Amino acid sequence: MPASPFDGPQPRRETVSGVFSAEEVALANRNSGAMLELLALDVTPLGAHYLLTHFDVPVIDPDTHRLRFEGAFDAPFQIGLDEIRALPQVTMPVTLECAGNGRAGMDPRPFSMPWMYEAVGTAEWTGTPLAPLIERARPRAGVVDFAFEGADHGYDKGVGHAFGRSLTPAELAGLDVLLVHQMNGQPLAPQHGAPLRIVVPGWYGMASVKWLTSITALTERYQGFQQVGTYRFRQTPDEPGAPVTTIRVKSLMVPPGVPDWITRKRLLAPGPVTLRGRAWAGSVPVARVEVLLDGCWQEATLGEPLGRHAWTGWQIDWDAAPGHHVLACRATDADGNTQPLQPEWNLSGFANNAVQCVEVFVER
């Protein structure tokens, strides 16, 4: 066996926190992350978009499925796929990211799906805007929440429930929520919420309820487990915590060169190379991306954003000198928020937008 080109000084690890349990690995095997090299593509291919599935994927007959508008509406109704397809259709690129993305980089690591950098993707979503349908159902005065529930159900912390989330009338008014039946021009796949889901642009993925069965107008705040029992920024289990909502500014790099199969360390030829990646900040524009090259943060060139709620490409030229390098990238959004160098810890490991580091060995 020849000497490995990946031998050399051992740098700090990309991820910390020591060892993982079998339950975490079973979740990682089941839930699909992005392959970082596919960040080279504007739109994530069908089947390469990340998936975080809380319970089991329900298999639903699209021909008989009816979405119910119920609760405190003056004109409640049910609607099927054919009728939804006959309404005005919008196709919109949206970058979705799991609220738990980056969890495995926190120390101590919260016990759940151990995402590192992979839980992000951009699809072209097709459907009809939700707001006019809510208007058609005529919410009563005094409605303070709309609850969105899916056909998927199971247990979390001993509590049985259907997956459900809510948005207030004010939140809905400020968001381009789409009632979606297609992804990348194809009918939704079962695992992406077929036959009907919502996509809530700008918010972490938990808001984009899949397998949608009902929209309920409520005169008191929704108390579903996924709304009040989790997706909160907490330091201790006893505090209520602020809700997880919009996606924080973040960037990722397409790892340059070629990989070592198991460690994913990279080997690169010396000389000029263009580094590329993506940056996003929910529905806030990306203002700048900097890349750590040879010990200095250097400004990358931004492309056009793919859409108002979708990521922005970036690139930067580098003259790769032989040796071992740890590259990093960090984005700043139009509100002035910049990615931190270290994770900001919280009890459930949500919204870690610390910078990505990529180990590269440049051949001598």
Segment 16-35, which members bind a second copy (CB under 8 A)? 16-33, 35
Query: Are the C-beta atoms of 222 and 231 separated by less than 8 Å?
Result: no
State the binding string over 139-158 for a second copy (x if CB under 8 A, else -): --------------xxxxxx
**190 by DSSP, 3-state: which?**
helix
Nearer to a second copy, 153 or 308 (CB): 153
Residue 321 touches a second copy, criterion: CB under 8 A: no
**Binding of a second copy at residue 326 (CB under 8 A)?**
no
By the rule CB under 8 A, 129 interacts with a second copy: no
The interface mask with a second copy, positions 281-310, x = CB under 8 A, is ------------------------------
- Secondary element (H or E) of residue 134: helix 131-136
Question: Distance (Å, rounded) from C-alpha 284 to C-alpha 340?
Answer: 17
Find the helix or strand (DSSP H, E) in which 132 lies: helix 131-136
Select the residue interacting with a second copy from 43, 54, 69, 209 (CB under 8 A).
54
Structure tokens at 85: 């397809």
Write phi, then psi, for 167 (nearest 5 degrees): -135, 140
Q: Ramachandran region of residue 184, left (φ > 0), alpha (ψ -120 to 50) or beta? A: left
- Judged by CB under 8 A, the chain residues 158 through 177 that form the site for a second copy are 158-160
Write the CA distances from 325 to 246, 294, 322, integer angstroms: 33, 7, 9
What is the Cα–Cα distance from 364 to 222, expressed in whole angstroms?
Answer: 61
Query: Which residue's CB is nearer to a second copy, number 58 or number 169?
Result: 58
11 lies in the binding site for a second copy (CB under 8 A): no
Q: In terms of CB distance, is 102 or 202 closer to a second copy?
A: 102
Q: How many Å apart are CA 99 and CA 153, to the nearest integer? A: 19
Q: Under rule CB under 8 A, which residues in 185-204 are in contact with a second copy?
A: 186, 189-192
What is d(CA 227, CA 212) in angstroms, rounded to the nearest whole number? 16
Establish if 63 lies at the interface with a second copy (CB under 8 A): no
Binding range to a second copy, per CB under 8 A, among 40-48, 80-88, 268-276, 277-285: 40-48
Say if CB 347 and CB 234 are below 8 A apart.
yes
Rounded to a whole number of angstroms, the minimum distance from the CB of residue 291 to a second copy is 19
Residue 262 in contact with a second copy, rule: CB under 8 A: yes
Nearer to a second copy, 19 or 86 (CB): 19
Nearer to a second copy, 59 or 173 (CB): 59
**Looking at 201, 202, 255, 343, which residue binds a second copy (CB under 8 A)?**
255
CB of 336 to a second copy, least distance (A): 31
Does position 269 interact with a second copy (CB under 8 A)? The reply is: no
Kindly state whether residue 313 participates in binding a second copy, applying the rule CB under 8 A: no
Residues 89-108 that bind a second copy (CB under 8 A): 104
- The answer to whether 223 contacts a second copy (rule: CB under 8 A) is no
Contact call for residue 345 and a second copy (CB under 8 A): no
User: Residue 198: CB partners within 8 Å, gap ≥ 6?
Assistant: 130, 148, 177, 178, 179, 180, 207, 208, 209, 212
Count Cβ neighbours within 10 Å for each residue of 312-337 and write b for 16 or more, e otherwise: bbbebebebeeeebebbbbbbbeeee
Using CB under 8 A as the binding rule, whether residue 53 contacts a second copy is answered as yes
Instruction: Kindly report the length of the chain.
Output: 364
- The answer to whether 348 and 230 have CB atoms below 8 angstroms apart is yes
Shortest Å, Cβ 52 to a second copy: 10
CA end-to-end distance (rounded Å), the chain: 19
